[in-house]
Structure 1
Amino acid sequence: MLSTVLALVPWLAFSVLVGVVVVGPVAGLWLVGRRRTTGVLLGLAVLAVLALTLYPDGAPYPGITCNPGLPYLSPTAVESTANVLLFVPVSFFAGVL
Structure 2
Amino acid sequence: MISTLLVAHPWFSPVVLAVLVLGGPVAGRWLYWRPRTAWTVFAASLLPIVLLTLVPTSREVLERCAVSWYLPTFGRVELMANVILFVPPVLLAAVASRRPVVALVGGVVGSAAIEAVQALAPGLGRSCDTNDWLTNSIGAVIGAALAWAAIWAARRWPRRIGTTGRR
Q: TM-score, normalised on structure 2? A: 0.44
Aligned length: 83
Deviation (angstroms), 1:91: 1.4
**Match for residue 80 of structure 1?**
79
Structure 2, unpaired ranges of 5+: 60-72, 97-167
Q: TM-score, normalised on structure 1? A: 0.72
Evaluate the alpha carbon distance shift between residue 58 and residue 72 of structure 1 in structure 2; reply closer, same or farther with a 3 A threshold: farther
Q: Distance in 2 between matches of 1:25 and 1:42?
A: 15
What are the equivalent positions in structure 2 for 1:1-97 lying under 5 Å apart? 1-56=1-56, 73=75, 77-97=76-96
The RMSD of aligned alpha carbons is: 2.2
Q: Which contiguous aligned blocks of 4+ residues in structure 1 show a shift greater than 4 angstroms? A: 56-59
Identity %: 42
Q: Distance in 1 between matches of 2:90 and 2:37?
A: 15
Residues 45-54 or 29-38, more deviating: 45-54
Structure 1, unpaired ranges of 5+: 60-70
Q: What do residues 22-63 of structure 1 show as CA deviations (whole Å, max 9, x unaligned)?
A: 21111011000111111111111112210122235667xxxx
Q: Contact (CA 8 Å) 2:13, 2:74: kept in 1 or not?
A: no
Q: Distance in 2 between matches of 1:92 and 1:55?
A: 24
Q: Distance in 1 between matches of 2:4 and 2:85?
A: 13
Aligned residue type for 1:12: F
